[in-house]
Structure 1
Amino acid sequence: MESGEIVEYIDDQKIICAVVMEGGNQRLQLLTENNREVKIAFQRLCHRSKMRLDLSLGRNRLVEHLRAIAEKRIALADQIDIAELWDVLSPEPGWIDLNTMTGLCFPTDTDDDHESGVIRAMFKSRHHFKFKPDRFRPYTEEELAVIIALEEKAARQQRLIASGAAWINAVRSGSMDSRPERHQELSEIFKSYFLFEKDSPHCETARAIMKNAELKAIDGLFNHLVAVGEWCVDENVDLLRYHIPTDFSAGALDLAQSISTLSDDTLRKTGRVDLTHLPTLTIDGQSTLDFDDALSIEIRNDHLLVGIHISDVAQFIKKGDRLDQEALSRGSSIYLPDNRISMAPPVLAENRLSLKKGHIRPAISTMVKVSRTGDIISYDIFPSIIRVDHQLSYFEANMSADTSDAIERLHDIAIRFREKRLSQGAIQIILPEINVWLDETGVPMVNRVNRESPGRMLIAEMMILSNWLSAKFLAENDIPAIFRSQPKPKSRILKNGTGTLFQNWMQRKQLNRFVLSSTPDHHCGLGLDAYVTASSPIRKYFDLVTQRQLRAGLGLEAPYSKTEIEAIIEQLARPMADVGRIQFRRNRYWLLKYLEGRIGEKEEAIVLQRRRNAYAVLLKSYMIECNLPQSSGIDLKPEDLVQVTIQHVNARNNILSVFMG
């Protein structure tokens, strides 16, 4: 290519006119109509003119000529009616070369400028002809319809992006009343992107809006949604992120209502053992409304008879009915400091299914014959009806531990059963529980719960006992169930069930995950040869399934097959992981929210381990881990006690920072 040749190329969706200053086989040095010198590949040219410019004219004169040529060519392009041209040419689709197309557009006296005019017109309006610099093909009517629809969609998208950016800017500047017509659509786009980021179907749109609004952090979308009232400042976004249902279908609610109206008297005619004469009690948290389990104890001549009674939820929620389907989709009730999401409708979970004081309820009872020294002699499992006499909170049970014969004996049996488990290799991790709740004004409150108090300890051990015996019953009768097992820990720190706070915390990190299977296996953590969970059928679907298998063993219904059990385990793996994640993150959120008000306070911490540039420490008062930056001249070791100061907390961003001192 020779110097002085006039050429055109496409840059940033525009056709640029230029003159060749220096030619070459691969790259050209050009001076453009915009008075810029550029180097481009030869292949980028869309038009070459036979016309030449004399480079000796000087740069300014050359640019003037180029601009004049470009203006002339633009004017020629404006004379071409692309739609009319398509009407004429579309009946016979096929490629038309540049020379022929130029002749069709300009019947007489055509030159390089006319060719460029055709190229410019075709490039400007590309939905009628498929564009290549040297040839063009009219689209079919079907192709044209698709192209027009795509262009309209793109234009709509651009309007949406502009509207979204304007809305963010207006709200940010204090114009709270500024709400575009499509604000609901924009809100859904913002929510989707905040929740799912690159996996959101609106990812590109949201990012474009953020760019136009100069919103650099995704938190800006959250703040906008709070400002316009779509979300609250403490919005539990995990419920949305993991698609947790919070309402029940009309069909499930209707069925729940019909079950709730059943008469208690009908239960006496179901062939159950009547245990309503037994003094029974429940021990639960103060705010509990769904009571799954109750206890009784009788003193016989040479032994004690302990009754562990579990609400027979499967009597009312049948396999495959609307309530069962919704319970399966949830997997578990979810308990949060600021919310409670039941697996079953509250009208059932807190009434007909709940072992409420003074009401006759169906149960699956495990009666355990225990020697005077606390050894288990035998057991029996059967369907029953019971009536709870005492509904105690953990606090009330603890206060009665020394005065109530029943609680004292149950506690002694619980201690004996734990000792047996420990002798069989159980790992008893003893850590305080941090209870977070909101007061009546919505302010987070925190207290430490002693999980080894008499009330909590005896309930924990009685439920482990009941679940173990249920597993034995199912295994002995060759009934598949959702058995839980646990391999040995990666390393064993605790000996004989005792240890420091540090040792208990670190031992927990060494435990292997439990395993779910349709056949029994050893549970190392509990020191038991088989284990299921069947003590919380109101709250957990796994427990409801296991209860149905117990009922099958008692002749009350047909059992699940091994294949069905394995399918349920697989189906609930993801939902149960989500439930655990949501409960952990929401409790942590409110704990951090509580700590936001305690910046500057000093706390005692235990050093757990050394990391790259920091120490992992445990704040003892709140049982929460964080990083402590390394200080020059100070060398800390695991289990050292240090004093730290809370420096910065951000609950929404999951940030907790401390420093030494």
Structure 2
Amino acid sequence: MSLVHLTTHPLPAIVGIMIKGNIVEYIDQQKIISAVILQEKKGKLRLLNENNREVNFSEKRLSHISQICLDTSISRDSIVTQLKQLTQNRKKLSEAIDIKELWEILHEESEDIDIETMTLFCFDPPLTSDHEAAVIRAFFHDRLYFKFNKIIFAPYTAEQVKTKKRQIKEAEKREILIQKGAAWINDVLNNKNGSNTRIDQNIIDVLKSYYLFNNDSASYLTARNIIKKSPLNSPEQLFNVFVKAGVWDQNENTNLLAMQIPTVFSRDVLEQEKNLASAQTNFFDDPLRKNLINTPLITIDGQSTLDFDDAISLENTETGYTLGIHIIDVDAYVKSNDPIDLAARDRASSIYMPDDKLPMIPPNLSENLCSLKENEIRPGISTIIKMNRFFKILEYDIVPSIIKVHTQMSYTEANLLNGKNDPITTLYKIATLLREKRLKAGAIQITLPEVNVWIEENQEIGYLKIDRENPARMLVSEMMIFANSLMAEFLANNNMPAVFRSQPAPKQRLFKGIETSLTLNFMQRKQLSRAMVGTDPEIHSGLGVKAYATATSPIRRYHDLLTQRQIKAIFGYHKAYSKAELENILQSISLTIANVGRVQASRKRYWIIKYLESMRGSTYEALVLDCHRDHYNVLIKEFMFEAKLPPSGIKLKYGDIVQVTIQHADARRDQLSLFV
């Protein structure tokens, strides 16, 4: 009796008696091998195969047993010669079988076909074991049309054959891609990837995906096989291959790619941007807007700022002052669910990095039409606050407006004017009183310096430690907090859902007022409760306000654009988002916002370590932040940069100041080694 089995799993037992000299076949490394039984004992066989090798085998693993026997008493070379001749005869017989033709005749039959019947379909009698073995060989090499189940043949359906053909074609394409990919890597490493070498973009995409996402890549199996056939030892080495081939820059922002943050705008977005830029909108025709173009607005920003979304004004009155905090009305141009709005939602925020800036909305809007540029008339949302001569708030109003910036100045310029000229001097006094009021209400002011990092045109890395408590920065910060809290109150009074921020009371309060100690500020920061975003107004203990909404940066943050639209809905400009709609949007962009924070932090970290690569042996002052069994967490004060410090025999504690030396820095691997 004969049996066929075409998988690598153990075969079922073969019925019948096997004796010395029986010719058998088995499958090894996807090949059918002919052999003769030299010895049989309780199902264990010793075989001599056609390759003149003796092997031990279980009878359960045989694919075919012939009824004929060889004389094992003849010489070994003669046996091997006969086995080879037998194999050639069976191969020749198998090549005469047209499996496709058989399938076309049989595939509509529902019954399975046994080996004896299939052999009769393939050959005319008289039939021998060679014919039966030839059938097995033919169906083993062409598995497209029939499924094997022990000694049974089952034709696939037409749909199954179509699917298998597609799979085979895809497998062939994949194998070609693997061979080409390995050859490309080899050419790059051997400097053969010149201008005459055609780069298959599909190969690049497969390898990029594997480098960025590893086993989560949809094509990781293909990429892994490319690397196996190439001179590389690990996926990490792909980065240098991409750099050498000119695919990536030496400082490629792979985190941006891995987080799949969009870096370009679609054609639809750019077309709408072009239409908006060329359209003439007369906001003076809007009866709801208050004309404030003669009110002297000031913007105060960093020297490199190009997108201005907020401005401040201060006017003297008979009874005191009129303070104005004015925000560009982005919604006047970007409507809910239009192409630009959907692209902004997809981005959720502008991204600012030392070497790049990715705006939330296209530059012709963020830096021009939707920017409060000097002497340009713009639509706005203005918060107007009436104060007496002692800066006590008498009343406030929030209105759609038409505004014009009269003066644009930097933080440095504003600081120079403070104490010398108005309105900066008076604005600073108001900001100081606003802060004092918040602190009395329980606000916790974390006063940690910030380090600004940038890349010069000559690719040198520049950095500057910024005191966020300097007068101009504090002034702007307090005015924005003030405006956001008033807008939150306005929304709450009108029962309007919006993007509200809240924060429960801290776990522990370590100081009141302003504290300049780095140690205490870091300790207090650890004690803060997690801030939350929701659609209902709640207390924000960290800021010391009863309600807080984000609405002052609609160019840069999608949260703020949403809230701005809710404010305008109160005036009847359009239908407001429902609470459920807002919650769905907030949920959909929450991961993107988290990724924006991660990519900004990681890119800043990258360039600081990159700077330190050239500072090996340099010493910096560091603050001990955490003590662990195998390391300390320290803050390198010069860069406000947190790093690990290995133990050195000197017992350190939280708050200690130590001198640390740069031992090794590798920005690409995110490595920084320090020693005391």
Say yes or no: TM over 0.5: yes
The answer as to 2:675 corresponding to 1:638 is no
Write the distance in 1 (CA, Å) between the matches of 2:96 and 2:525.
74
The answer as to 2:603 corresponding to 1:586 is yes
User: For 2:151, which of 134, 150, 158 is the aligned residue?
Assistant: 134
1:125 alignment counterpart: 142
Write the distance in 2 (CA, Å) between the matches of 1:355 and 1:345.
15
User: For 2:674, which of 633, 639, 658 is the aligned residue?
Assistant: 658
The answer as to 2:261 corresponding to 1:244 is yes
User: For 1:554, which of 566, 571, 591 is the aligned residue?
Assistant: 571
Q: Is the 8 A contact 1:281 1:388 kept in 2?
A: yes
The answer as to 2:446 corresponding to 1:429 is yes
Q: Is the 8 A contact 2:188 2:244 kept in 1?
A: yes
1:73 alignment counterpart: 87
User: Which has the higher mean CA deviation after the structures are superposed, 373-382 or 178-187?
Assistant: 178-187
Write the distance in 2 (CA, Å) between the matches of 1:21 and 1:178.
62
Write the distance in 1 (CA, Å) between the matches of 2:54 and 2:439.
83
Map 1:244-643; keep pairs closer than 5 Å: 244-261=261-278, 266-267=283-284, 270-498=287-515, 500-631=517-648, 633-643=649-659
Once the two structures are superposed, residues 522-553 of structure 1 have per-residue CA deviations (whole angstroms, 9 ceiling, x without a partner) of 11211111000110111112111111222223
Q: Is the 8 A contact 1:264 1:361 kept in 2?
A: no
Once the two structures are superposed, residues 594-634 of structure 1 have per-residue CA deviations (whole angstroms, 9 ceiling, x without a partner) of 22222222222112222242211111111122211222x32
Unpaired segments of 5 or more residues in structure 2? Answer: 1-16
Q: Is the 8 A contact 1:167 1:179 kept in 2?
A: no
Q: Is the 8 A contact 2:24 2:64 kept in 1?
A: yes
Query: 1:222 is matched by which residue type in structure 2?
Result: F
Distance 1:616 1:125, change over 3 A: same
User: For 1:648, which of 656, 659, 664 is the aligned residue?
Assistant: 664
Write the distance in 1 (CA, Å) between the matches of 2:84 and 2:121.
21
1:84 alignment counterpart: 98
Once the two structures are superposed, residues 553-604 of structure 1 have per-residue CA deviations (whole angstroms, 9 ceiling, x without a partner) of 3344432222222222222212222222222222222222222222222222
Write the distance in 2 (CA, Å) between the matches of 1:310 and 1:253.
24
> TM-score, normalised on structure 2?
0.89
Write the distance in 1 (CA, Å) between the matches of 2:30 and 2:448.
66
Once the two structures are superposed, residues 102-127 of structure 1 have per-residue CA deviations (whole angstroms, 9 ceiling, x without a partner) of 45555466544443333223222333
Write the distance in 1 (CA, Å) between the matches of 2:112 and 2:286.
87
Query: 2:79 is matched by which residue type in structure 1?
Result: H
Write the distance in 1 (CA, Å) between the matches of 2:532 and 2:569.
24
Calculate percent identity across the aligned residue pairs: 45
Write the distance in 2 (CA, Å) between the matches of 1:374 and 1:42.
99
Query: 2:664 is matched by which residue type in structure 1?
Result: H
Distance 1:548 1:37, change over 3 A: same
Query: 1:512 is matched by which residue type in structure 2?
Result: S
Unpaired segments of 5 or more residues in structure 1? Answer: none
Once the two structures are superposed, residues 112-160 of structure 1 have per-residue CA deviations (whole angstroms, 9 ceiling, x without a partner) of 4443333223222333443356343455555444434432322222121
Write the distance in 2 (CA, Å) between the matches of 1:106 and 1:319.
74
Q: Is the 8 A contact 2:147 2:154 kept in 1?
A: yes
The answer as to 2:190 corresponding to 1:173 is yes
SS in structure 1 at match of 2:394: strand
Distance 1:378 1:266, change over 3 A: closer
Report the Cα offset of residue 97 of structure 1. 3.0
Write the distance in 2 (CA, Å) between the matches of 1:476 and 1:82.
89
User: Which has the higher mean CA deviation after the structures are superposed, 436-445 or 247-256?
Assistant: 247-256
Once the two structures are superposed, residues 80-99 of structure 1 have per-residue CA deviations (whole angstroms, 9 ceiling, x without a partner) of 23553542564134544334
SS in structure 1 at match of 2:79: helix
Write the distance in 2 (CA, Å) between the matches of 1:530 and 1:370.
21
Once the two structures are superposed, residues 481-504 of structure 1 have per-residue CA deviations (whole angstroms, 9 ceiling, x without a partner) of 111111233444444341521232
Report the Cα offset of residue 434 of structure 1. 1.1
Distance 1:423 1:63, change over 3 A: farther
User: Which has the higher mean CA deviation after the structures are superposed, 137-146 or 76-85?
Assistant: 137-146
Write the distance in 1 (CA, Å) between the matches of 2:494 and 2:165.
69
Distance 1:598 1:63, change over 3 A: farther
Report the Cα offset of residue 68 of structure 1. 3.9
Query: 1:482 is matched by which residue type in structure 2?
Result: V
Write the distance in 2 (CA, Å) between the matches of 1:20 and 1:611.
68
SS in structure 1 at match of 2:668: coil
Distance 1:657 1:101, change over 3 A: same
Q: Is the 8 A contact 1:170 1:178 kept in 2?
A: no
User: Which has the higher mean CA deviation after the structures are superposed, 353-362 or 366-375?
Assistant: 366-375
Write the distance in 2 (CA, Å) between the matches of 1:326 and 1:651.
31
Distance 1:273 1:110, change over 3 A: closer
